[in-house]
Structure 1
Amino acid sequence: MSLNHPIVEQSFAIIDREIGKHNLNPSEYAISRRVIHTTADFDYLNLLEFKHNGISSALVALQNGIPIVTDVTMVKQGIKTLVGKTFNNPIIAAIDFADVALPGKTRTETGLLKCWSKYPDAVYVIGNAPTALIALCECLKKQNKIIPPLIIGAPVGFVSVIESKQALKQLEIPQIIVKGRKGGSPVAAAIVNALLVLAKEG
């Protein structure tokens, strides 16, 4: 039984027809196609970057019920349904861990630092806050023992966004990055949902 709603499958068929030939492997394409379905933006066929065996590492982690840490609640809400239909991974929104921001930091960044201390081996999903992604990269640079199974770097916007993605790219950590300024919570959630389907059906 497919985890996808019939309308989603119809949309995928339309996307397949419009894209035609491409250079992505089946798993990369499944993720890109779901993001395109979510955004109606075909640029994502070329904007997603998959590095350091991020997909295969994430599939194993999800199947084993590893926690998923999101930066904001919107990403958490966007993956909750499919998590419930697949592996029931704990989902933690970093922003919920910080009622007040630490001096000089955002609430999301503050919450992310707390999540890192509690869930260092989680799948990390950043769809909104570049400050949280930068903080996570700084934590990883300070140690080399713990390697998360996947970091999704998909913050959107203009301030510190490209810098945060560059910081992630410099780390030899399993990762999926949205290149440039595009991204956002719906995109980050779509990437996770595609991974959940691949992990369940694979």
Structure 2
Amino acid sequence: MLNHPILEQSFTIIDQEVGQHNLNTLEYAIARRVIHATADFDFINLLTFSPNAISNGMISLQKKTPIITDVTMVKQGITTLVNKTFNNPIISAIEQVSDPLPGKTRTETGLLKCFQQYPNAIYVIGNAPTALIALCQEISQSNVKPSLVIGVTVGFVSVVESKQLLAKIDVPQIRVEGRKGGSAVACAIINALLILAWDSQ
């Protein structure tokens, strides 16, 4: 059993407080885990799923598709469950470079490097809007698309713009609208997808 009993108890409480909602079963499984990670019920309305995003993510995880994270914290937050399920390679973009390209952040530079090597990976951007913007630009110019993009950047500078840019691109994606997001949200989404993929086998 991948879910701890205390987690299941928390889910019961969340279900009671959420009540009626407009998400389907799979979408709600992801939203519920995000709410558990953040104690923020706003996410029931902020999460956006493109058509087939969840099924694409589940199939890609089952195929052991690499997972590219923007920062190390996201990588650490999903490693345990990845190791218990499909053992996908997990690569943190920021760990790929010591010196950023001129005018770019380390995370952005690392992500560009990762996209050259793994264009069809699952991309999980939980913090850095510069990385999400760079990814969107690369996707727009490439014939190969990621299996899934999770765009949940957080903060105040370029955050909303990065998500709006992702929304305009034809790629399977899960987004959080507005300023909210972060590592905990990114981890919750991937971990929920891992459990859905594992249980659907």
For the criterion TM > 0.5, the same-fold answer is: yes
Match of 1:120 in 2: 119
Q: Match for residue 189 of structure 1? A: 187
- 2:170 — aligned with what? 172
Sequence identity percentage: 66
* Alignment-derived partner of residue 100 in structure 2: 101
TM-score normalised by L of structure 1: 0.98
The DSSP-based 3-state class of the residue aligned with 1:52 is: coil
Matched AA of 1:17: Q
| Counterpart residue number, 2:68 | 69
Q: Work out the number of aligned pairs and report it.
A: 200
Counterpart amino acid of 1:117? Q
* Structure 2 CA distance for aligned equivalents of residues 113 and 180 of structure 1: 24
Instruction: Tell me the equivalent position of 1:152.
Output: 150
1:49 paired residue number: 48
Task: Work out the CA distance in 2 between the residues paired with 1:189 and 1:39.
Answer: 11
After TM superposition, give the deviation of residue 52 of structure 1 in Å: 3.2
Aligned amino acid, residue 163 of structure 1: E
TM-score computed with the length of structure 2 as normaliser: 0.98
Question: Which consecutive segments of 4 or more residues in structure 1 shift more than 3 A?
Answer: none
Task: Please give the secondary structure, in 2, of the residue aligned with 1:49.
Answer: strand
Amino acid paired to 1:56:
S
CA distance in 1, matches of 2:158, 2:169: 17
d(CA) in 2 for partners of 1:157, 1:43: 16
Rounded Cα–Cα distance in structure 1 between residues aligned with 2:145 and 2:125: 16
Q: Please list the CA deviations of residues 175-200 of structure 1 after superposition, one character each: whole Å capped at 9, or x if unmatched.
A: 00000000001100100000000000
Please name the residue that 1:161 is paired with.
Answer: 159
Q: Distance in 2 between matches of 1:178 and 1:185?
A: 12
Which consecutive residues of structure 1, in runs of 5 or more, have no partner in the other structure? none
Secondary structure at the residue paired with 1:23?
coil
1:148 and 1:138 map into 2 onto residues whose CA distance is 13
For 2:18 and 2:184, locate their aligned partners in 1 and report how far apart those are by CA, in whole Å. 21
- Structure 2 residue identity aligned to 1:184: G
1:60 aligns with 2:40: no
Say what the alpha-carbon RMSD is for the aligned residues. Answer: 0.6
Q: Verify the 8 A CA contact 1:128 1:184 in the aligned structure 2.
A: yes
Task: Provide structure 2 residue ranges, at least 5 long, that are not aligned to the other structure.
Answer: none
Q: CA deviation at 1:61?
A: 0.2
